[in-house]
A and B are shown apart, each in its own frame.
Chain A
Amino acid sequence: MATTDTVVEHEVHDDKELWSGAKEPFKASYGKLMMWYFLLSDAFTFAGFLIAYGALRFSSPTWPVPDFVFKTHPFGSSELPLIFVTVMSFLLIISSVTMVRGVQEGHRNNTKGVVFWMLLTILGGIGFLSCQAWEWTNLIATEHMTVTRNPFGTHVESGVYLNDDGSESDEVFEAGASYLIHKAGGHGHGHGDDHGDDSHGGEAHSDDGHGDGHGAHATDPGDYKGHVIDNEGFLHRKYKVTEGPNEGMVKYESFGPKSFGALFFFITGFHGFHVFSGVVFLFIIMINAASGLYVERNNGHEMVEKIGLYWHFVDLVWVFVFLVFYLL
């Protein structure tokens, strides 16, 4: 019994120490611990979004193919699937690494080093945001995707496109092929220049071009021989089904699953907003570090460590956004 008594006594002794303050649970400061728990809750928010994306994607008979949707980039006219978004990923990875370097210099109280590496981190974040701005502008202004409209469709049946006079063209496609619905008359401006004249310019349209080659069409809404123009001015090309139970039927291209636009803009937007707030906080903390505030606090630049945790989390979320939106 003597051993038990000593144990109890020992525990009471320990309790007194616990309640006397100055003891950190998990050997982490309050700020760092709460940053971890904030990031945990934020992870659940993002997981909610990404799981919603998965559920809606699973519930859809077709889904836009990422290497078809994300093949544009600002470095020329050729199409490179996924390359631009890979560049974006590398920007975030590199800025994560410069952040780690900043935290390391902070531990050594090297103010100059902290400011230098944080500046590089901020530049990486701004670079990422700029890329995202270009990507969004391209999707909205050139490809006319919005929160409620998704012009990226997928064929569920094999078929052959019709010419402007209603005859079959030599453009055939298989089930699973992707298409992008354009605005009639090029980029959506210029209305009614070609009134009622839809029979000329029967050249083959490029299946995956971006708004070129459609300048010759009439832009009035209506049911034409080779296509349908809806009230918003979108040109849905007609095709004849060549396989399956609907063989011989003439159909026209429909919009892709509507939820794609909303999910894309909300999820990448929410992530982009995290990057933006990260850049703002990095900037504030960089100024504070430069002023010598954290040297005075003498806690190894803990504030830099905390914003570092946040910044790595932004990179971490991107790993999964990149996975579900672009890779799978």
Chain B
Amino acid sequence: MGHLSYEESIKKVYQGLILLGVVTLIEVGLSLFGKGYIIGGVEDYKAVIYLVGLGLIVLSLYKAYFIIYEFMHMRYEVKGLALSVLLPTLLLIWAIIAFFQEGGSWKDRRDQIQEKNAEPSDAQGMLPDDVYRLENFG
């Protein structure tokens, strides 16, 4: 706090309110735009969906930064405190990449199983171990 006068810090709080409100409204507008509510038909383009998603994530991260640095006063804390709280969250980047990859892999496997199940199961031209598999596991 320290370096700001009382009046200045009050003014800053209400500026923050307006900023967060406007960013939230932009987010909702962007999300509805991406779903084709504002201009119909845009939701069919993959690029639009990706760009809207990226924009939403960036805006949310900005809101998070603002809340932590201004409202929670992280800006005015000692650097070591800020680092000891913020650096561990970098691990989450790894977790997000790893688990989203995993989720995509589950989907691929499920699709593969469905494809295989849909194939006609005539016994002709099968290898011996395929027959064995069929006999044992139905």
A and B associate: yes
Write the residues of chain A forming the contact surface with B, with a CB cutoff of 8 angstroms. 25-28, 33, 36-37, 39-40, 43-44, 47, 51-52, 54-61, 65-67, 81-83, 86, 89-90, 93-94, 96-97, 99-101, 104, 107-108, 308-309, 312-313, 315-316, 319-320, 322-323, 326-328
Q: Which chain B residues border A51 with CB–CB below 8 Å?
A: 92, 95-96, 99-100
B13 and A104 contacting across the interface, CB-CB below 8 Å: yes
Tell me whether A81 and B68 are in contact in the complex, defined as CB-CB below 8 angstroms, given that A56-B103, A59-B103 are known contacts.
Answer: no
- Does B84 contact A26, Cβ atoms closer than 8 Å? yes
Q: Give me 5 A-to-B residue pairs in the complex whose CB atoms sit less than 8 angstroms apart, sorted by A's number.
A: A26-B77, A43-B89, A312-B72, A326-B31, A327-B31
**B10 close to A (CB within 8 Å):** yes
Name the A residues within 8 Å of B48 (CB-CB).
Answer: none
Measured CA separation A222–B128 after assembly (Å): 44
- Across-interface contacts of A90 in B (CB, < 8 A): 21, 24
Residues of A close to B21: CB separation below 8 A:
90, 93
- Chain B residues contacting A108 (CB-CB under 8 Å) are 6
Contact of A316 among B32, B56, B67, B85 (CB under 8 A): B67
Expressed in whole angstroms, the Cα–Cα distance for A326 and B63 within the complex equals: 16
Q: Nearest chain A CB to B116's CB is how many angstroms away? A: 16
B3 part of interface (Cβ distance < 8 Å) = no
Nearest Cβ in chain A — how far from B51, in angstroms?
13
B112 to chain A, nearest CB (A): 13
Q: Chain A binding site: helix, strand, loop or mixed by DSSP?
A: helix
Across the interface, which residues of A come within 8 angstroms of B99, CB to CB?
51-52, 54-55
Which parts of B59-102 form the interface with A (CB within 8 Å)?
60, 63-64, 67-68, 71-72, 77-78, 80-81, 84-85, 88-89, 92, 95-96, 99-100, 102
Q: In the complex, how many angstroms separate the beta carbon of B36 from the nearest chain A beta carbon?
A: 9
For B71, the closest partner residue in chain A by CB is A312
**B64–A100 contact, CB under 8 A?**
no
Cβ of B17 under 8 Å from chain A? yes
Interface magnitude class on chain B: 35 or more
Scan B18-60; emit 1 where CB is below 8 A from any A CB, else 0. 0011001101101110010100000000000000010011001
CB distance from A108 to the nearest CB of B (A): 7
Q: Is the interface of B mostly helix, strand, loop or mixed?
A: helix
A319 touching B107 by the CB < 8 A rule?
Answer: no
- B residues touching A (Cβ–Cβ < 8 Å)? 1, 6, 9-10, 13-14, 16-17, 20-21, 24-25, 27-28, 30-32, 35, 37, 53, 56-57, 60, 63-64, 67-68, 71-72, 77-78, 80-81, 84-85, 88-89, 92, 95-96, 99-100, 102-104, 106-107, 110-111
Contact: A323 with B103, CB < 8 Å? no
A104 touches B9 (CB 8 A): yes
**B13–A54 CB distance below 8 A:** no
Taking a contact as CB atoms under 8 Å apart, the answer to whether A54 and B31 are in contact is no
When C-beta atoms are compared, the residue in chain A nearest to B1 turns out to be A107
Closest Cβ of chain B: how far from A324's Cβ, in Å?
9
In the complex the two chains form, is A315's CB within 8 Å of B67's CB? yes
**Looking at the complex, which one of B16, B35, B56, B111 makes contact with A323 (CB distance below 8 Å)?**
B56
Q: Of all chain A residues, which has the CB nearest B106? A: A59
Is B103's CB under 8 angstroms from A67's CB?
Answer: no
Contacts of B37 in A (CB 8 A): 67, 81
Given A47-B95, A65-B35, A67-B32, 5 new contacts (CB under 8 A): A51-B92, A59-B106, A100-B71, A104-B10, A308-B72
In the complex, what's the smallest C-beta–C-beta distance from B82 to chain A, in angstroms?
Answer: 9
A323 to B9, CA, bound (A): 29
Which residues of B sit under 8 angstroms from A39, Cβ to Cβ? 85
Chain B residues, Cβ within 8 Å of A322: 27, 60
